[in-house]
């Protein structure tokens, strides 16, 4: 499923227009991003939680040349599925 498929699903499920559904989907995505920026997590009971984890700077290698390079510190986003979500997929 991609974003357009999700918009179509929301439109069908709710009776909203595709334009309104697109705005709703974008608002949900913006809310998750905002939550991750502000508090480093976004939790949805039954669905799952998104978390931001800091990654340290490290050394890496260019796979083509084998040359060593520096990889800067950054953030990684993780997702852990909730119990109800796992059960519904299995």
Are both 45 and 72 inside the same structural domain?
yes
Are both 45 and 24 inside the same structural domain?
no
Are both 87 and 55 inside the same structural domain?
yes
pTM: predicted TM-score of the whole model, two decimal places: 0.77
Structure tokens at 88: 């519904």
Are both 26 and 67 inside the same structural domain?
no
Task: State the chain's mean pLDDT as an integer.
Answer: 94
> The domain that contains 58 carries what CATH number?
4.10.520.10
Over residues 67-89, the mean pLDDT reads: 94
Are both 69 and 90 inside the same structural domain?
yes
Amino acid 90: pLDDT: 87
- Backbone conformation region of residue 60, classed left if phi is above 0, alpha if psi is from -120 to 50, else beta: beta
Q: Count how many domains the chain has.
A: 2
Structure tokens at 64: 């083509």
Return the closest-CA partner of residue 79 out of 44, 29, 38, 55: 44
Are both 58 and 83 inside the same structural domain?
yes
Q: What is the DSSP string of the chain?
A: --HHHHHHHHHHHH---HHHHHHHHHHHHHHHHHHHHHHSEEEETTTEEEEEEEE--EEEE-TTT--EEEE--EEEEEEEE-HHHHHHH-
Higher model confidence: residue 21 or residue 90?
21
Are both 33 and 8 inside the same structural domain?
yes
Over residues 5-33, the mean pLDDT reads: 96
The tens digit of pLDDT for each residue in 37-54 reads 998 899 999 999 999 999
Over residues 20-42, the mean pLDDT reads: 93
Are both 49 and 82 inside the same structural domain?
yes
Q: Is the pLDDT of residue 59 over 90?
A: yes
Alpha-carbon distance of 90 to 75, in angstroms, equals 30
Are both 50 and 76 inside the same structural domain?
yes
């Amino acid at each position: 499923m991609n974003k357009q498929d999700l918009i179509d699903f929301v439109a069908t499920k709710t009776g909203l227009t595709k334009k309104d559904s697109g705005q709703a989907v974008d608002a949900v995505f913006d809310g998750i991003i905002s939550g991750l920026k502000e508090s480093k997590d976004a939790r949805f009971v039954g669905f799952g939680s998104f978390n931001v984890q800091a990654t340290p700077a490290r050394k890496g290698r260019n796979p083509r040349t084998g040359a060593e390079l520096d990889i800067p510190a950054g953030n990684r986003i993780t997702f852990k599925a909730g119990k109800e979500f796992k059960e519904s997929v299995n």
